Chain A
């Protein structure tokens, strides 16, 4: 028999209660994994998209929320004149409900701009020119919308022909509906407006120069912000809100978990007052009893964490396959997230056990034996 046997035995003496507590913790941890996994997946997807398209600097006005506010497309001309700029292109991108899909990324891209370059046509063709009332679908978007080349697609009030299916080489790109900027502006009533100005800097421009470019653009466009592509996700207000929401919702779930474990551990300590008295009577130190109670609650946390991560992973996989989510974001089930979730569960266990452990250590051996 080891000390661990003693810890384990006290958890198995009330299997139903232990299982119910584990269910409570695992639901909390599953919520953490699912919500944070979605938020991280969304961020990662956007980051990958920027990388694939080859954008160095993104100009937008992110103060509006998840999608940036529109601004005048004439900004492009002014920015293009800056010496560090090699290429520019504008985009009007919105999240719209498209036919049966509750939410879908629709990207109106300046015809001839470099953002069309990485789209690999796998069926049909790209629009003939910037005025053709046509769309091409990313592979996942086609799957979600159940559309093929030759079908039509309603964007707001415009019925547009689907002329091609493309591989965008990134999850977010594959889940997007592409059309020319002009057609998008007409369909959404945003003539002359865009919400992204994507910039390719001159080759091998050092990081400091990229930052200087951003500062120069900020002067030209004070109401918006220019960001180096790698920093877009981390500094965007929308992503910050999404991250905060996922963590705050997770925190609620964690608090529920803490209360559950604390309740169980308190019950355990109350029920075992007599046993704790016996342990003290045979010479156990108070700190060993505290350690025993903390080990029990930490073990509850660990087991709940493992179950929660498993449950959360299943939740993420399920959510990732839903029509509203598929193609829009790729859930992130990284080892980092799993380790963080399990660590949270163990910390939840230990924190929940602190008060019961303290109570158990305050017991008088004589009174405990009489209970």
Chain B
């Protein structure tokens, strides 16, 4: 496994205070004054029914969207006001999506190299780092394949390798097992746990699957855009 930018354990990574997000000129309110803290090294599962705002929250944490109101800090700095959102997405975090979001016209190896174009890695460095990561997620034999030639589980492994390629300290996963069969889902969660434990990455995972959530060390339950429970369930 590659090295990651390890931070001091327990350091406050995310802090949300009164976080609100509304769409369609306020007709749809996804987050209604949410408060939250996430610390370095945690494995947090965010659970709740569809429409409770958990994916919206993950998009906020991933700087893919901005809150309508409230405060959201990353390591003490306001996330919506970051000077360079791309650098944050590229080097601080890795994101994994339910529908994988791989580029269909690029091979597995090329897909994993894509995020590295924002860094200073040379062509050979990009290739060797992507190859190493793909081998570590068990896809060393699939480097030249296109996403359409892979199973769902394999595609998600590619997405995981891609999310780790710039050595982030936080992994954000939006329903990573939502499109997978049960066997593949278990394998993906095992892989994420392994990465979390070996690399020390903070893992924030959105899911509606209780069996996935119970693997996390902390479970945050959301309903109607707010946190209704926050409990530590496991220690990995």
B103 contacts the other chain (CB 8 A):
yes
A365 contacts the other chain (CB 8 A):
yes
* Beta-carbon contacts under 8 Å, B81-98 to A: 84, 86-91, 95, 97
* Contact of A288 with B117 in the complex, beta carbons under 8 Å: yes
B223 contacts the other chain (CB 8 A):
no
Closest beta carbon of chain B to A351's beta carbon, Å: 25
* Contact of A282 with B114 in the complex, beta carbons under 8 Å: yes
B90 to chain A: which residues have CB within 8 Å? 282-284
Closest beta carbon of chain B to A219's beta carbon, Å: 71
A256 contacts the other chain (CB 8 A):
no
B129 contacts the other chain (CB 8 A):
no
Query: In whole angstroms, what is the CA distance A275 to B100 when docked?
Result: 12
A280 to chain B: which residues have CB within 8 Å? 64, 86, 89
* Contact of B64 with A284 in the complex, beta carbons under 8 Å: no
* Contact of B87 with A1 in the complex, beta carbons under 8 Å: no
B65 contacts the other chain (CB 8 A):
yes
* Contact of B103 with A366 in the complex, beta carbons under 8 Å: no
B166 contacts the other chain (CB 8 A):
yes
A354 contacts the other chain (CB 8 A):
no
B102 to chain A: which residues have CB within 8 Å? 278
Query: In whole angstroms, what is the CA distance A282 to B92 when docked?
Result: 11
A283 to chain B: which residues have CB within 8 Å? 86-91, 115, 118, 166
Chain B, residues 115-130, CB within 8 Å of chain A (1/0): the string is: 1011000010011000
- A282-B95, A283-B86 known; A9 vs B106 contact (CB < 8 Å): yes
B105 to chain A: which residues have CB within 8 Å? 9-10, 13
* Contact of B86 with A284 in the complex, beta carbons under 8 Å: yes
Query: In whole angstroms, what is the CA distance A364 to B117 when docked?
Result: 20
* Contact of A285 with B106 in the complex, beta carbons under 8 Å: no
How many of B's residues come within 8 Å of A, CB to CB?
31
* Contact of A1 with B113 in the complex, beta carbons under 8 Å: yes
* Contact of A281 with B89 in the complex, beta carbons under 8 Å: yes
A52 to chain B: which residues have CB within 8 Å? none
Chain B, residues 163-176, CB within 8 Å of chain A (1/0): the string is: 10010000000000
Query: In whole angstroms, what is the CA distance A286 to B118 when docked?
Result: 11
A103 contacts the other chain (CB 8 A):
no
* Contact of B65 with A364 in the complex, beta carbons under 8 Å: yes
* Contact of B162 with A1 in the complex, beta carbons under 8 Å: no
Interface residues on A, range: 20 to 34
Closest residue of B by beta carbon distance from A3: B117
B114 to chain A: which residues have CB within 8 Å? 6, 279, 282, 284
- Interface class of chain B by DSSP: helix
Choice from B84, B89, B123 contacting A1 with Cβ under 8 Å: B123
Chain A, residues 332-371, CB within 8 Å of chain B (1/0): the string is: 0000000000000000000000000000000011100100
Closest beta carbon of chain A to B196's beta carbon, Å: 20
* Contact of B89 with A5 in the complex, beta carbons under 8 Å: no
Closest beta carbon of chain A to B100's beta carbon, Å: 10
* Contact of B103 with A275 in the complex, beta carbons under 8 Å: yes
Chain A, residues 191-216, CB within 8 Å of chain B (1/0): the string is: 00000000000000000000000000
* Contact of B118 with A284 in the complex, beta carbons under 8 Å: yes
B41 to chain A: which residues have CB within 8 Å? none
* Contact of A5 with B97 in the complex, beta carbons under 8 Å: no
B59 contacts the other chain (CB 8 A):
yes
B7 contacts the other chain (CB 8 A):
no
A1 to chain B: which residues have CB within 8 Å? 106, 109-110, 113, 123, 126-127
Chain B, residues 67-92, CB within 8 Å of chain A (1/0): the string is: 00000000000000000101111110
B101 contacts the other chain (CB 8 A):
yes
B225 contacts the other chain (CB 8 A):
no
14 extra interchain contacts, Cβ-Cβ under 8 A, other than A282-B114, A284-B115?
A1-B109, A1-B123, A1-B127, A9-B105, A278-B102, A280-B64, A281-B62, A281-B97, A281-B101, A282-B95, A282-B162, A364-B65, A366-B64, A369-B97
Query: What are some 26 contacts across the A-B interface (CB < 8 A)?
Result: A1-B106, A1-B123, A1-B127, A2-B123, A3-B117, A6-B117, A9-B106, A275-B103, A278-B101, A278-B103, A280-B64, A281-B97, A282-B95, A282-B115, A282-B162, A282-B163, A283-B89, A283-B90, A283-B91, A284-B86, A284-B90, A285-B118, A286-B86, A288-B118, A366-B59, A366-B65
Binding site for B on A (CB under 8 A): 1-3, 5-6, 9-10, 13, 274-275, 277-286, 288, 364-366, 369
